[in-house]
Structure 1
Amino acid sequence: MVFGVDGKGRLILNAHYLGLLELVVLIFGSQVVLGRTRYFDFKIHYANVSRLCHTKSAVLVNGRFPGPATYVREGDRVVVKVTNLVSYNVTIHWHGVRQLLSAWADGPAYITQCPIQKNQSYIHRFRIVEQRGTLFWHAHISWLRATVHGAFIIFPKRTNPAYPFSMPQKELPPLILGEWWNANVEDVSAQALATGGAYNVSDALTINGQPGDLYNCSSDGTFVYHVSRGRVYMLRIINAALNFQMYFAIANHTLTVVEADAEYTQELLTDMIILAPGQTTNVLFTTNKSSGDYYIAASVYSTPNAEIVPFPQTPTTAILRYEAAGSGTGQVVLPSFPLANDSSLHVKLSKALKGKQFSEGFYHFDVPQTVDYDLLHTIGYALQRCAAPNETCMGQRNIRFRASMNNISFVSPDAYSILEAHYNHVNGVYTTNFPDAPYFKYDYTAVNPINKAALSGTRVRVIPFNSTVQVVYQDTATLFIQSHPMHLHGQNFYIVGTGNGTYNPKTDPATFNLVNPPSRNTVSVYPGGWAAVRFRAINPGAWLVHCHFDIHMSWGMDMVFITLNGKKDSEILPPPPKDLPKC
């Protein structure tokens, strides 16, 4: 047993596993300050939740929606026991946590582990190494993360000053953007996958699980942030929505962006930000307005028009309430949002965001100046013919909707996880022939190809340890252009370049920022454009790459990088834990 209970009923680790944790400390040496071991107990169960004049049974963690926020510190060891008490298979992913030498704890179903089955448990064990800031955890199987998600906050290690920017006078509770379906969300996803057609769009957007004042039967639950006039506050914002990017603003207040995806940024002043699913942003703002109530609001940013991709039209709201204003006095001011398909703010903010320069030991740049592997990954839609004459396909022209990367639509294994197959040298689970570039080259954003079919398969790309990798994510006009939030597990990347149209490998690299690019785990690719990212592969394991729109991931916009072990003992993935779930 690697996990047990002591005489006082507390969760404990045995000496063998503590030895592995100490190995991580040795690997990263002075970069790690030995922290506490923090224990969490997640019980996944059913509970009734009422929204929009409707009550349904939902899957929750510890009876909460959103789930419990977890607070840790850089250098801490984290131990989370996840117990599944529902009929669905479950996994939990620690979104943005680098999982150095702990790939077994990452959580995506059938990639690093088999799911946790009903009445079974799995203990995630990992260490927070050289990370601080706002991340989140969520279910990573089917669409359960609609209600199974929560904040994951990493405070800086105590040996550093608190932040490399002006210290806020107070920190507000995390703000989580999401979506709400009156229907069972698992039924929604199952219907879409069974028919091959479009999915039923959510009934509301939410802030901290509440739709807000602009929705029916919702005002009593609207989340209220209480503030005092004349102070500087920090707010941590997380987009946990399944399928929509969102504009975000606080009416009449200026935001200063200081962190994105748990990486410090140069201070960026703006009235509004955009967050894609999977992205997080920390902002500062000053309460220097007249006493009263101001809406904190989010609205959909979706580049296809609503006739092509429907979306909830009503913004979600919370309230910023100045203490002197009393309870709900006067008219509440609502931010004004751009048109849903206006990508100008997306482009403006992407160009303006820069990484934080080295200061007081907070941050160092390790941007690869040259690359060992230069990859082009096209992303977009595909169509697939019905598998059988009597099969019902409700996609365009009676064909099934799919999505792909480099014209490969990912098929998840179901009898073995990819990481287990790699570690144990099991054949037949995946192939290693994911292409470095599309098979056919053309003007990807100007041409809607006649052949919209994609190949299907479980393909991975193997990367030697310590290799430098560049990936250009290229949107395509297959069916229609759309912005895609591409998320990499296991490590962050530097966003060294972005642009509109089809990427030109001869001229576009001259525009790259190799000095102070932002470091993130999720990049939002321009609609009809591209984004170039670079990273160094120093974390052995199987790392999923996918669009963070759940419908696109379900349709196959995924692939996997397998980073091989290095030569030193400190560069080798430890064996799987004994309680790793079985398929």
Structure 2
Amino acid sequence: MKWRSLPAGTVAIATGVIFFLSAIGAPGAPAAMASVVEHTFVVRQVKMTHLCKETLATVVNGQFPGPAIEVTEGDSVTVHVVNQSPYNLTIHWHGVKQRLNCWADGVPMITQCPILPNQNFTYRFNVAGQEGTLWWHAHVSFLRASVHGALIIRPRRGASSYPFPKPYKEVPIIIGEWWDMDLLKADWGIQQHVIDPYFNASTINGKLGDLYSCSGAVEDGYLLDVEPGRTYLLRIINAALFAEYYLKIAGHKFTVVAADANYVSPYTTDVIAIAPGETMDALLVADADPGRYYMVALPNQSPLPDPQGPTLITRGIVQYSNKQRAADGGGRPSSDIAVSPEMPDQHDMITSFYFHGNLTGLHHPQHLEVPKHVDERLFITLGLGSICRGGQSSCKRSENNESVDVATMNNFSYQQPAVATPLLELHYYNTDNCVLSMLQELPDKPPRVFNYTDPALILPGPKEAKLEPTSKATIARRFRQGAVVEVVFQGTAILSSESNPMHLHGHDMFVLAQGEGNYDATRDVPRYNLVNPAVKNTVFVPRLGWVAVRFIADNPGIWYMHCHFEFHVSMGMVALFIVEDGSTVDTFLPAPPADFPTCGHDHNVMSNEFYPI
């Protein structure tokens, strides 16, 4: 892969970001207003020390989290990725719709060849028709734990056009995890069910916070300075692999105004629930007594008998500026001891259920109407199962070493196809017979009906044993161009009762309803919100519950649909949604870029050393 020469007229600046006027613009906007925003991402391993241990961390430009990409609606983005790490990797632009541009979606061996070590690749895409907070991350193995960053899209007309009070400042808040083990080894251990890896600390903007220490010295925490009376727009991202988080700031409330780069009706709350993959935009008014207040992020988890991990809380400080505090005199606390919020219990899942249920869409110029007619309906159960090791047809199960636990959708666990050319290229060049021979159709419903949320299924036993065996295949579902698809995701209790944040690439979804227990169409369809549902790219399926969504399959290509808990991805909770071409230019996938690379032969692109199979 060769470096592309930069376009004539570009001017490099010290930060590595390049802006220039372009003829590319948002629909209806003057062409000269749009820019090309250009970055270079150098991915390499650097030594970082936390918790008294030096760790080789894979990061972008030496930063954890990586650099933020800040653009305006309608801009084009060019990112040169230079891979100086020892791993194959790709970058996924999470939530960017990639309209007619599936080639830039960044899924290895689906949309592109992985970027090999010591090679480079350039992504080009636009952000027309989108506003808000998105993010980018590695889409290979567990590497997104350290290879990620914010992608912020501001309105073309400026901050004054926000459908909420103009904030004084905008502040990215990235919740993540610190791992002191090799991330590829963690992924392999999950797949093979031979180790049970877990992160070492939670982070806010890469900082572990003062709940963690090394030889008595506390770790640095994130510090947000605020001025009394000012309004701050927090752009909150959950980049963690393993947990949904509760976020609170003592003495303050949030007004949630957007989720997944879609505006929502303003919702005031003292706690934000945010699952891996989700983004939330929330207004914070600095209206408390001047002082210091803890910002706390707590990972929640399903209660026993589900497996339990350590409760790794992290916290930063919201601090009223020293100047303002001094001027305020007796109005501030007599000490600098920070005030702590009262957090939900780590096993409290109902707070998340109500938080997500209270999000509704906001009517504004870009608001889309919910399609009333449905062309296809899918009922997809999400859970765990097992397959026999070594391809055997029979084996002992129930967590026996003869079997391997897998994650499933309608009793199928996804298997990466053994191909030398990405599936999107095979699909585009009319070699669909080849593609079809490798794919197993994702069925409309699970193979059997049962009490999906029966708690007795969590532990091995007679009921569970009948449901545990599953199949491994490259599961996919084809949709005609423009089809309206309704999906009900049903959580199950098989071997685990965990929730599932389900992310669909290339499309947004209308979140029509959610519920606890088993979905019942007769009871639940009349409760659908067809007027102002929240619009999301990552929908949170509650523990032992369900969520109903609707989307329009109008973006041709092959798109990943998967859980955003990384252990579920590694275990196979993935399906491919294939959207066929239409008959017009704006419904037909263009050819790949002229310099789109082919997969090299100097490394086996399907090798476990670089890419999980």
Distance 1:139 1:499 in 2: 32
Aligned to 1:282: 281
Aligned to 1:553: 569
1:437 aligns with 2:445: yes
Aligned residues of 1:116 and 1:581 also touching (Cα < 8 A): no
**Measured at CA, do residues 10 and 270 of structure 1 come closer, stay the same or move farther in structure 2, by a change above 3 Å?**
same
Which 10-residue stretch deviates more, 28-37 or 465-474?
28-37
Aligned residues of 1:94 and 1:138 also touching (Cα < 8 A): yes
Aligned residues of 2:387 and 2:471 also touching (Cα < 8 A): no
Shift of 1:170: 2.3
Q: 1:401 aligns with which of 405, 408, 412?
A: 405
Find the residue that maps to 2:354 and give its secondary structure: helix
Find the residue that maps to 2:390 and give its secondary structure: coil
Give CA-to-partner distance per residue, 1:407-461, whole Å, 9 cap, x none.
1100112433221221123344432522121121222112633230111111211
Query: What code does the residue aligned with 1:405 have?
Result: M
Give CA-to-partner distance per residue, 1:387-419, whole Å, 9 cap, x none.
279xx9998233311001011100112433221
Q: 1:336 aligns with which of 325, 342, 346?
A: 342
Aligned to 1:14: none
**Measured at CA, do residues 420 and 56 of structure 1 come closer, stay the same or move farther in structure 2, by a change above 3 Å?**
same
Quick one: percent identity of the two aligned structures? Answer: 39
Distance 1:117 1:414 in 2: 17
Query: What code does the residue aligned with 1:269 have?
Result: T
Give CA-to-partner distance per residue, 1:316-349, whole Å, 9 cap, x none.
11111111358x9621122222222211112211
Give CA-to-partner distance per residue, 1:111-134, whole Å, 9 cap, x none.
211210011111111111210100
Aligned to 2:113: 114
1:101 aligns with 2:103: no
Distance 2:378 2:553 in 1: 14
Q: 1:207 aligns with which of 204, 207, 212?
A: 204
**Measured at CA, do residues 117 and 207 of structure 1 come closer, stay the same or move farther in structure 2, by a change above 3 Å?**
same
1:563 aligns with 2:573: no
Matches within 5 A, 1:227-376: 227-305=226-304, 308-324=306-322, 325=325, 330-358=336-364, 361=365, 363-376=366-379
Aligned to 1:387: 390
Normalising by the residue count of structure 1, what TM-score does the alignment of the two structures yield? 0.92
Find the residue that maps to 2:34 and give its secondary structure: coil
Find the residue that maps to 1:145 and give its secondary structure: helix
Aligned residues of 2:258 and 2:282 also touching (Cα < 8 A): yes
Query: What code does the residue aligned with 2:381 have?
Result: T
Aligned to 1:5: 6
Distance 2:29 2:307 in 1: 46
Give CA-to-partner distance per residue, 1:222-266, whole Å, 9 cap, x none.
111111112111111100001111111111101110011111010
Aligned residues of 2:27 and 2:128 also touching (Cα < 8 A): no
Aligned residues of 1:201 and 1:310 also touching (Cα < 8 A): no
Aligned residues of 2:133 and 2:261 also touching (Cα < 8 A): yes
Distance 2:300 2:219 in 1: 27
**Measured at CA, do residues 304 and 6 of structure 1 come closer, stay the same or move farther in structure 2, by a change above 3 Å?**
same
Aligned to 1:418: 423
**Measured at CA, do residues 543 and 304 of structure 1 come closer, stay the same or move farther in structure 2, by a change above 3 Å?**
farther
Query: What code does the residue aligned with 1:503 have?
Result: Y
Which 10-residue stretch deviates more, 500-509 or 469-478?
500-509
Matches within 5 A, 1:449-468: 449=464, 450-468=466-484
**Number of residues paired by the alignment?**
564
CA RMSD of aligned residues (A): 2.5
Distance 1:464 1:388 in 2: 34
Normalising by the residue count of structure 2, what TM-score does the alignment of the two structures yield? 0.87
Shift of 1:292: 1.5
Query: What code does the residue aligned with 1:212 have?
Result: G
- Structure 1 residue runs without a partner (length 5+): 12-20
Aligned to 2:329: none
1:524 aligns with 2:524: no
1:582 aligns with 2:604: no
**Measured at CA, do residues 62 and 560 of structure 1 come closer, stay the same or move farther in structure 2, by a change above 3 Å?**
same
Aligned residues of 1:475 and 1:528 also touching (Cα < 8 A): yes
Find the residue that maps to 1:397 and give its secondary structure: coil
Q: 1:177 aligns with which of 175, 178, 181?
A: 175
Find the residue that maps to 1:531 and give its secondary structure: strand
Distance 1:288 1:9 in 2: 44
Give CA-to-partner distance per residue, 1:58-98, whole Å, 9 cap, x none.
11101111100110110001111111111100100000000
Aligned to 2:131: 132
**Measured at CA, do residues 171 and 160 of structure 1 come closer, stay the same or move farther in structure 2, by a change above 3 Å?**
closer
Aligned residues of 1:495 and 1:531 also touching (Cα < 8 A): yes
Shift of 1:553: 0.5
Aligned to 1:69: 68
Aligned to 1:189: 187
Aligned residues of 1:300 and 1:312 also touching (Cα < 8 A): no
**Measured at CA, do residues 432 and 575 of structure 1 come closer, stay the same or move farther in structure 2, by a change above 3 Å?**
farther
Which 10-residue stretch deviates more, 316-325 or 549-558?
316-325
Aligned residues of 1:81 and 1:123 also touching (Cα < 8 A): yes
Aligned to 2:492: 476
Shift of 1:526: 1.1
- Structure 2 residue runs without a partner (length 5+): 13-21, 327-333, 458-463, 600-613
**Measured at CA, do residues 317 and 343 of structure 1 come closer, stay the same or move farther in structure 2, by a change above 3 Å?**
same
Distance 2:233 2:335 in 1: 25
Aligned to 1:15: none
Query: What code does the residue aligned with 2:200 have?
Result: D
